[in-house]
């Protein structure tokens, strides 16, 4: 275990314990500090303390950092398309067919397994040595996702998602000809009561879900569009496009069986933007459509 000791200065007096320690310990989030305080890993003058206690000058704080536990997932040497990486964040262009998290039926071969091998400098998220998956994209959706490498980065990126300040743009081919250039689907999404493995637009258990779309090109039976997420519900684009009568081509769960020749849905997370958690720099990344989607689009264009 690592131990850190701090003596409160005159300038730091009357600051909450959790706030002060967050400022003093660069890579640790406030929520993690609060958890350590709750678990008794933080003492003030050798006694337990509460997160909201306001320190006095010359108070002595001791933080005993518990050893991070190993995640059950094992590191695997799986190639990754790394678009950007530094000490706080890694941006990956995930291929179609790769699961993000280990789960029943997919214990290995996932993005997490690959990241555990790739990132030798993971200090741990919330006391667990693991990459901080901030958001997910479905197994058969390709494209960009951001991963935090420490607590503070994870907290910042999650907060940005909650505040709807991240930029997430998807390219997709959907069934049917959409007659207008722009549209917004504002419809709550929750678990489908008739099929617990699926999501649906529902008022019963639905949470706010907003998708903005722009039609780029139309064909005889399909439309090529971009979708910008305002929220990030499970299967959001797939559910919303089905809801308005234009399901994503190739979608095995929400689309028709007779569709374009592609393994999985024709959906690609092409643009990802966020504020860097340490530097405050605005960062935007782009990933080109995968080859199979390009081939489909070219066939549709040539068939006109």
Instruction: Provide the annotated active-site residues.
Output: 138
How many C-beta atoms lie closer than 10 Å to residue 106's C-beta? 14
Query: Distance between CA 209 and CA 158 in Å, rounded?
Result: 17
CA distances, 133 to each of 92, 111, 116, 117, 215 (Å): 11, 10, 12, 15, 31
Rg of the chain over CA atoms, in angstroms?
23
DSSP 8-state assignment for residue 292: H
Handedness of CA 65, 66, 67, 72 (dihedral sign): negative
Closest by CA position to 174, among listed 255, 248, 226, 241: 248
Paired tokens of 123: 């200090």
HSE, CB side, 13 Å, CA atoms: give it for residue 194. Answer: 3
Query: Distance between CA 264 and CA 284 in Å, rounded?
Result: 26
Closest by CA position to 229, among listed 154, 296, 145: 145
């Amino acid at each position: 275990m690592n131990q850190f000791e701090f003596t409160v200065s005159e300038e730091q007096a009357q600051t909450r314990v959790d706030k002060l320690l967050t400022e003093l310990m660069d890579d640790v989030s406030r929520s993690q500090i609060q958890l350590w305080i709750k678990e008794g890993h933080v003492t003030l003058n050798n006694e337990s303390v509460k997160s909201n206690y306001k320190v006095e000058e010359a108070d002595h704080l001791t933080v005993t950092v518990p050893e991070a536990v190993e995640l059950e997932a094992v590191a695997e040497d799986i190639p990754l398309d790394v678009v950007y990486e530094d000490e706080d964040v890694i941006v990956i262009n995930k291929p179609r067919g790769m699961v993000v998290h280990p789960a029943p039926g997919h214990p290995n071969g996932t993005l997490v397994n690959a990241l555990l091998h790739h990132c030798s400098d993971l200090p741990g998220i919330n006391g667990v040595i693991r990459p901080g998956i901030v958001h997910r994209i479905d197994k058969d959706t390709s494209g960009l996702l951001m991963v935090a490498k420490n607590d503070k980065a994870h907290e910042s990126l999650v907060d940005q998602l909650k505040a709807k300040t991240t930029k997430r743009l998807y390219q997709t081919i959907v069934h049917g000809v959409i007659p207008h250039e722009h549209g917004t689907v504002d419809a709550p999404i929750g678990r489908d009561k008739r099929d617990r493995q699926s999501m649906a637009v529902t008022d019963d258990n639905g949470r706010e879900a907003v998708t903005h779309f722009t039609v780029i090109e139309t064909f005889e039976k399909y439309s090529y569009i971009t979708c910008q997420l305002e929220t990030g519900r499970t299967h959001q684009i797939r559910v919303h496009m089905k809801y308005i009568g234009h399901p994503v081509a190739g979608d095995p769960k929400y689309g028709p069986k007779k569709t374009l020749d592609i393994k999985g849905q024709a959906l690609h997370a092409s643009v990802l933007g966020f504020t860097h958690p340490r530097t405050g720099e605005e960062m935007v990344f782009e990933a080109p459509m995968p080859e199979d989607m390009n081939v489909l689009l070219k066939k549709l264009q040539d068939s006109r």
